[in-house]
């Protein structure tokens, strides 16, 4: 089934408007939960810190029907914050089958930049896999129908995620917090996906992630914080925030032996390949 034209959308003008006002080179945080309650006390300050650091765009995915309103309000308040709509696989206790219809209505009401955060999680043993799979497949179908990329939660489930991506063709997307094998990375790349890297690879014992961060082609990597989660090593167990993205980029640059400007420019270009086009 071919992707529909339903999203010949506000996305391209939206990004153009942001880029037109951004004279300096900039970062994109491709996965950031700025709407989360952890930011209630200082959200304005953390957004300002991110923008001051050059993080001009933050992609904010929903996790359930219950936070559509919070994501929408956050994106309305903060220029450069763009919504993605989806039902997270770890929140099966709050999802209901009828929420898929609510998701469609939300897509129609406020066109997103992507469908997400969606996917599968095999790390938490109490999550029913069949139910996860049902929600994942139905949301892939929505992404296909609307011609949107997807933001994928794929913890310990890369092969299962890929199986459905081969069957339901979508417009690429991002394997969020990727931590698979080089072979799995290659399979995502073949399907038009970029691989999301954030604070996890900054920890010295994250050997697999650090190898991937060095060995994968730079044109396959995008940056993310997953704020307030996945803090980098310098935060420890504290709260992550989008303003940490440039330092995460610096860590990647040091691992690869290149400049932070090279990392910034490449990862921004890679993200725009997924979320664009931005011209025309």
For the cut 80, the answer to whether the pLDDT of residue 114 exceeds it is yes
For the cut 70, the answer to whether the pLDDT of residue 20 exceeds it is no
CB 27 within 8 A of CB 246: yes
**Which of 15-19, 152-156, 245-249 comes out lowest in average pLDDT?**
15-19
For the cut 70, the answer to whether the pLDDT of residue 129 exceeds it is yes
Question: Confidence band (pLDDT; 50, 70, 90) for 23?
Answer: low
- Structural domains in the chain, CATH included, are 11-275 (3.20.20.140)
* Res 280: pLDDT: 31
- The secondary structure of residue 54, as a DSSP letter, is T
Closest alpha carbon to 50 in 233, 254, 225:
225
For the cut 70, the answer to whether the pLDDT of residue 14 exceeds it is no
Q: Largest alpha-carbon pair distance within the chain? A: 50
Pull the structure tokens for residue 21: 């006002």
* Res 127: pLDDT: 98
Neighbours of 202 (CB within 10 A): 25
Average of per-residue pLDDT values in the chain: 93
Q: What is the DSSP string of 57-125?
A: EEEEE--SGGGHHHHHHHHHHSTTEEEEE---TT-TTT--TTHHHHHHHHHHHS--SEEEEEE---SST
Helices and strands in the chain, H and E counts: 10, 8
Q: What is the DSSP string of 121-168?
A: --SSTTS-HHHHHHHHHHHHHHHHHHT--EEEE-TT-HHHHHHHHHHS
For 51-77, what is the mean pLDDT? 97
Residue showing tokens 């092969």? 159
- Give, in degrees to the nearest 5, the angle at Cα 165 between 67 and 273: 75
Question: Confidence band (pLDDT; 50, 70, 90) for 276?
Answer: confident
Tens digit of each residue's pLDDT (9 = 90 or more) over 229-239 = 999 999 999 99
Question: Confidence band (pLDDT; 50, 70, 90) for 278?
Answer: very low
């Amino acid at each position: 089934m071919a992707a529909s034209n339903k999203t010949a959308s506000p996305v391209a003008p939206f990004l153009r408007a942001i880029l037109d006002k951004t004279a300096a080179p900039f970062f994109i945080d491709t996965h950031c939960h700025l709407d989360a309650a952890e930011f209630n006390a200082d959200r304005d300050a953390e957004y300002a810190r991110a923008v001051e650091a050059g993080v001009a765009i933050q992609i904010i995915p929903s996790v359930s029907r219950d936070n559509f309103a919070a994501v929408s309000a956050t994106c309305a308040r903060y220029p450069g914050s763009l919504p993605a709509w989806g039902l997270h696989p770890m929140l099966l206790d709050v999802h209901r089958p009828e929420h898929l219809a609510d998701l469609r209505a939300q897509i129609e009401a406020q066109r997103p930049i992507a469908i997400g955060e969606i996917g599968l999680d095999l790390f938490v043993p109490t999550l029913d896999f069949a139910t996860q799979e049902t929600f994942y497949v139905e949301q892939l179908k929505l992404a296909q129908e609307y011609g949107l990329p997807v933001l994928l939660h794929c913890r310990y489930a890369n092969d299962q995620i890929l199986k459905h991506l081969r069957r339901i063709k979508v417009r690429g997307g991002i394997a969020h917090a990727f931590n698979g094998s080089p072979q799995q990375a290659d399979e995502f790349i073949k399907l038009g996906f970029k691989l999301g890297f954030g604070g996890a690879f900054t920890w010295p014992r994250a050997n697999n992630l650090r190898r991937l961060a060095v060995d994968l082609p730079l044109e396959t990597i995008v940056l993310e914080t997953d704020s307030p989660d996945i803090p980098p090593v310098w935060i420890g167990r504290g709260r992550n925030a989008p303003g940490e993205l440039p330092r995460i980029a610096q860590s990647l640059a040091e691992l690869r032996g290149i400049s932070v400007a090279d990392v910034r420019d490449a990862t921004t270009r890679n993200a725009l390949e997924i979320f664009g086009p931005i011209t025309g």
